[in-house]
């Protein structure tokens, strides 16, 4: 009887430090310490403010840009381009990757093409895209879409290849035609790969959108960061970077929710 | 025509890379029949090509020579009339138990309500009531194999092929399932072939045991098993006749095993 409470208590106590609240506390602490250190180093003159910015200055700048400037517009522009590019590229790439399962010949024929395109840094294609679709939103979306398309295509096709060959054999023994096998086994079987590609791709989509903004836009966080950098306005650069981080975290959290929904 | 063969294998041989210097003969000139309503076990030493033979019988592999026919029709490519169950349960993890059982009916184009009704009656009748809507990952290994067996039965196949279906299970579960599967095959008046390396399982479950020799395998012997109508594996294993069969078959396999060492 006496032993029972201790065995119950033991694991409970041990699990405490890794509880979600504890982690959150440590995370907050880490950020606070880093920013305090940064602020202190700039204030004591160890780091020059014109090269490194300053947390208090960044905060003030953010407030200013939010009230007087068009920070919200920039954030919205980048978010919109990222999301649209992400949806287009990921959807088309995933469907293409799934369809490639249906024809081994097509997959083999296309392989070197895909590898070659994948090997090219997509930024090198940006001037082409600008020529084709013009500057502005179109170019941003197109760059984001082309980046995510190729990632989705490759990893979702890989996903179709990872589906247990014995499940395919089972379906065949039940008399299923290739398209039925595709629909009932390959597509649902590759779903985890589609979901994990989505999380990867949201990052790529943001890279695409920001690159697009660097080279051919008058809007968005990429444009804002690029411009501020040229003017040595490092606080504005950091505001832009932190907005990008926040955006990435939000989009990733949304996708995490979706992924959880579809997991079996 | 109670004793008409459901499935007939005639002089089936299988060689890989036939006609080249690297030719490997898996088995040679294997003939047997599966009678209506019987369970035929095929045992053999490891590496004797049991799985290859299984694939040939299932119509998944074409033999180098000879033929396998079901109800007089060659199983060459025409699939669907043989149901099979493997060591891996191959349940689709994203489908519920019910939807896994209806899979074959779905592929075959059965009306969804009919498929559902048939699956439900099998599930409830054979010990899975209450788990109709559970996902496979929530089930134990034994229950998953039960679902796989229901999926096979749902199609009402002319012959059922069982390839080491219990070998991944723990001993107790294995014995229970052996008894249940045998009883269900009898109840549903099915004919089945059981490929296994487990001599006890072969004797406890089948009407006849076909013993294969070491590779290149041939049919070494066919034993009629007469242990009465009991399906309970415990009762069966206690009978003296069981031990005699076991001993005989063990010797037949053992001779080859030693020759191989």
C-alpha to C-alpha distances, A190 to A11, A182, A196, nearest whole angstrom: 37, 10, 10
Ordered by start, the domain boundaries in chain B are: 5-196
Residue B245 has pLDDT above 50, yes or no: yes
Q: How many structural domains are present in chain A?
A: 1
- Check CB contact under 8 Å for B82 and A171: no
Q: Burial code of B82-120, b = ≥16 C-beta within 10 A, e = fewer?
A: bbbbbbbbbbbebbbbbbbbbbbbbbeebeeeebbebbb
Measure Cα distances from A250 to A202, A203, A244, A246 in Å.
11, 11, 10, 6
- pLDDT over 80 at B75, yes or no: no
Stronger pLDDT, B23 or A83, i.e. the higher one:
A83
Specify whether the CB–CB gap between B151 and B100 falls below 8 A: yes
Confidence of residue B61 (pLDDT cuts 50, 70, 90): confident
Q: List the single range of A68-72, A87-91, B82-86, B142-146 with lowest mean pLDDT.
A: B82-86
pLDDT of residue B114 exceeding 70: yes
B26 reaches A (C-beta below 8 A): no
Sequence-distant (≥ 6) Cβ neighbours of residue B232 within 8 angstroms: B179
B86–A166: do the CB atoms touch at under 8 Å? Answer: yes
Q: Is residue A4 part of a domain?
A: no
Given this model, what pLDDT does residue B11 score? 93
Token pair for residue A225?
Answer: 């960061």
In a domain, A242, yes or no: yes
pLDDT beyond 50 at B47: yes
Q: What is the pLDDT of residue B73?
A: 80
Mean per-residue pLDDT over chain B, rounded = 86
Give the number of A-B residue pairs with CB atoms closer than 8 Å.
45
Task: Pick the residue of B52, B94, B133 with the most A CBs within 10 A to test the interface with A by mutation.
Answer: B94
Give the tens place of pLDDT for each residue, B154-213.
988 888 999 888 988 888 889 889 988 998 999 888 999 999 988 999 998 999 999 988
Domain containing A202 equals 62-262
pLDDT of residue A1: 39
Span B132-151, average pLDDT: 92
Cα–Cα distances (Å) from A196 to A6, A94, A115, A202, in that order, read: 41, 11, 20, 10
Among A172, A189, A264, select the one facing B79 at the smallest CB separation: A172
Pairwise CA distance, residues B205 & B189, whole Å: 14
> For residue B13, what are the β-bridge partners?
B65
pLDDT over 80 at B130, yes or no: yes
Residue of A nearest to B161 (CA): A173
A76 in contact with B, Cβ within 8 Å? no
pLDDT for res B77: 52
User: pLDDT value at position A38?
Assistant: 94
Q: Are A178 and A120 in contact (CB under 8 A)?
A: no
Chain B within 8 Å of A191 (Cβ-Cβ)? Answer: yes
Q: Does A167 touch chain B (CB under 8 A)?
A: yes
What is the CATH classification number for the domain harbouring A195?
1.10.3720.10
Residue B74 predicted with pLDDT over 90: no
pTM for the model stands at 0.79
**How many angstroms separate the CA atoms of B210 and A195, rounded?**
49
Distance from C-alpha of A217 to C-alpha of A54, rounded to nearest angstrom:
28
Residue B228 CA, distance from chain mean position: 21
pLDDT beneath 50, residues of chain A: 1-13
Superfamily per CATH, domain B5-196: P-loop containing nucleotide triphosphate hydrolases (3.40.50.300)
Does residue A35 fall inside a structural domain? no
Q: Give contacts of B135 with chain A, Cβ < 8 Å.
A: 264
Asked if A185 lies within 8 A of B92 by C-beta distance, the reply is yes
Four-residue CA torsion sign, A141, A144, A147, A150 = negative
In this model, does residue B228 exceed pLDDT 80?
no
């Amino acid at each position: 009887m006496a032993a029972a409470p201790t065995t119950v208590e033991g694991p409970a106590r041990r699990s405490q430090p890794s509880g979600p609240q504890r982690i959150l506390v440590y995370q907050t602490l880490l950020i606070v310490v880093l920013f305090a250190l940064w602020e202190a180093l700039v204030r004591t003159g160890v780091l020059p403010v014109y090269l490194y910015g300053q947390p208090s200055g960044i905060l003030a700048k953010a407030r200013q840009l939010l009230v007087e400037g068009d920070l919200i517009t920039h954030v919205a522009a980048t978010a919109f381009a990222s999301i649209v590019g992400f949806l287009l590229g990921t959807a088309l790439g995933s469907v293409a990757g799934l369809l490639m399962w249906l024809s081994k010949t097509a997959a083999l024929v296309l392989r070197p093409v895909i590898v070659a395109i994948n090997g090219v840094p997509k930024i090198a294609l940006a001037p082409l895209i600008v020529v084709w679709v013009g500057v502005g939103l179109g170019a941003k979306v197109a760059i984001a879409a082309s980046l995510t398309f190729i990632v989705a295509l490759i990893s979702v096709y890989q996903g179709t290849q990872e589906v247990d060959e014995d499940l395919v054999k089972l379906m065949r023994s039940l008399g299923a035609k290739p398209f039925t096998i595709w629909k009932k086994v390959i597509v649902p079987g590759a779903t985890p790969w589609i979901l994990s590609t989505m999380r990867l791709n949201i990052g790529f989509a943001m890279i695409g959108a920001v690159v697009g903004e660097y080279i051919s836009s008058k809007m968005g966080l990429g444009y804002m960061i690029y411009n501020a950098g040229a003017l040595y306005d490092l606080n504005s650069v950091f505001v832009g970077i932190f907005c990008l981080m926040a955006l990435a975290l939000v989009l990733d959290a949304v996708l995490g929710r979706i992924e959880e929904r579809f997991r079996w | 025509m109670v004793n008409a063969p459901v499935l007939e294998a005639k002089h089936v041989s299988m060689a890989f890379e036939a006609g080249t210097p690297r030719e490997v003969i898996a088995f040679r000139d294997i003939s047997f029949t599966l009678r209506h309503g019987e369970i035929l076990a095929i045992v053999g030493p490891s590496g004797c090509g049991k799985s290859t033979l299984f694939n040939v019988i299932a119509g998944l592999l074409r033999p180098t020579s000879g033929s396998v026919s079901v109800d007089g029709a060659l199983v060459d490519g025409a699939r669907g009339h043989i149901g099979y169950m493997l060591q891996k349960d191959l349940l689709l993890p994203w489908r519920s138990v019910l939807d896994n059982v209806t899979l074959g009916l779905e592929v075959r184009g059965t009306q969804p309500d009919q498929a559902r009704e048939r699956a439900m009656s099998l599930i409830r009748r054979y010990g899975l009531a209450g788990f109709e809507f559970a996902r496979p990952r929530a089930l134990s290994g034994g229950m998953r194999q039960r679902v796989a067996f229901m999926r096979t039965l749902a199609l009402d196949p002319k012959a059922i092929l069982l390839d080491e279906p219990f070998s991944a299970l723990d001993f107790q579960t294995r014995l229970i399932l052996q008894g249940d599967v045998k009883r269900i095959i009898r109840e549903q008046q099915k004919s089945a072939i059981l490929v296994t390396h487990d001599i006890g399982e072969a004797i406890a479950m089948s009407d006849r045991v076909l013993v294969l020799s070491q590779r290149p395998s041939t049919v070494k012997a066919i034993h009629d098993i007469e242990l009465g109508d009991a399906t309970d594996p415990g009762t069966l294993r206690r009978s003296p006749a069981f031990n005699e069969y076991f001993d005989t078959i063990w010797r037949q396999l053992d001779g080859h095993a030693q020759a191989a060492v």
